[in-house]
């Protein structure tokens, strides 16, 4: 594996763990506001991000590459309303998509087809993540100002359960 690809993959581990921290912060925000369903939704997002980090970790180990763990930054977000959190979630997913695309481009440049194949799942996953974040924003725009509708949306998000990624390495 070329060093550039190795470094980008290793860096992504840390970024995925940061994503988990960020979503835990979002979950804390909604829990404090009494929206347990939203808190649940972001708690599950945090679990997914931890699993993503571990997939990168396992991939590097399977490729006989050294994994270097770095410190995880504390999220420094403060929010004035529910919509701020949702928009920050979408912006973050778009950022993660750009990171995955950068790794893919670096792998493509050096003809690292194995890494490209590994990343194919993440490319698809990021499309789903951005769609989910957009959908939450749309639903909040439609229903968030009506307490009864917000209650129903919160109930919908409370029903979300965790399912681990099905990527085989």
- Of the pLDDT bands very low, low, confident and very high (cuts 50, 70, 90), residue 78 is confident
For 3-158, CATH number out of 3.40.640.10, 1.20.1250.20, 1.10.443.10, 1.20.1260.10 equals 1.20.1260.10
**Secondary structure of the chain as H, E, C letters:** CCHHHHHHHHHHHHHHHHHHHHHHHHHHHHHHCCCHHHHHHHHHHHHHHHHHHHHHHHHHHHCCCCCCCCCCCCCCCCCCCHHHHHHHHHHHHHHHHHHHHHHHHHHHHCCCHHHHHHHHHHHHHHHHHHHHHHHHHHHHHHHCCCHHHHHHHHHHHHCCCCCCCCCCC
Q: Rounded mean pLDDT of the chain?
A: 95
Query: Is the torsion defined by CA of 152, 22, 121, 134 positive or negative?
Result: positive
Q: What is the pLDDT of residues 88-146, one digit of tens each?
A: 999 999 999 999 999 999 999 999 999 999 999 999 999 999 999 999 999 999 998 89
C-alpha span between 136 and 78 (Å, rounded) = 19
Looking at residue 169, what is its pLDDT?
58
Q: What is the pTM of this model?
A: 0.92
């Amino acid at each position: 594996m070329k060093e550039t690809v190795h470094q980008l993959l290793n860096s992504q581990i840390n970024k995925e763990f940061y994503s988990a921290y960020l979503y835990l912060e979002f979950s804390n925000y909604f829990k404090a506001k009494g929206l347990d369903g939203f808190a649940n939704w972001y708690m599950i997002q945090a679990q997914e991000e931890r699993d993503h980090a571990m997939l990168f970790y396992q991939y590097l180990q399977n490729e006989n590459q050294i994994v270097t763990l770095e410190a995880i930054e504390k999220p420094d977000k403060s929010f004035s309303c529910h919509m701020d959190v949702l928009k920050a979630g979408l912006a973050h997913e778009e950022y993660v998509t750009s990171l995955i695309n950068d790794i893919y481009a670096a792998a493509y440049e050096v003809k690292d087809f194995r890494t490209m194949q590994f990343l194919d799942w993440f490319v698809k996953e990021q499309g789903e993540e951005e769609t989910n974040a957009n959908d939450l924003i749309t639903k909040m725009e439609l229903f968030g100002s009506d307490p009864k509708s917000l209650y129903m949306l919160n109930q919908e998000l409370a029903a979300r359960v965790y399912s681990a990624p099905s990527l085989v390495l």
